[in-house]
Amino acid sequence: MLNENIKTLRKLRNLSQVELAARLHVSKQCVSNWENDNILPSIEMLVKIASFFGVSTDSLLGLSVQNTICAEGLTPEQREHIKVLVEDFRRANGN
Average pLDDT along the chain: 90
Between CA 88 and CA 95 the distance in angstroms is 10
The residue extents of the domains of the chain are 2-61, 66-95
Looking at residue 16, its pLDDT comes to 97
Distances (CA, A) of 61 to 54, 65, 74: 13, 10, 27
Which of 64, 84, 69 shows the shortest CA–CA distance to 92? 84
Q: Is the pTM of this model over 0.85?
A: no
Q: What would the CATH number be for the domain defined by 2-61? A: 1.10.260.40
Looking at residue 72, its pLDDT comes to 76
Looking at residue 46, its pLDDT comes to 97
Q: Which helix (H) or strand (E) holds 86?
A: helix 76-92
Between CA 90 and CA 84 the distance in angstroms is 10
Between CA 89 and CA 60 the distance in angstroms is 24
Looking at residue 24, its pLDDT comes to 97
Between CA 30 and CA 20 the distance in angstroms is 10
How confident is the model over 1-22, as pLDDT tens digits? 999 999 999 998 899 999 999 9
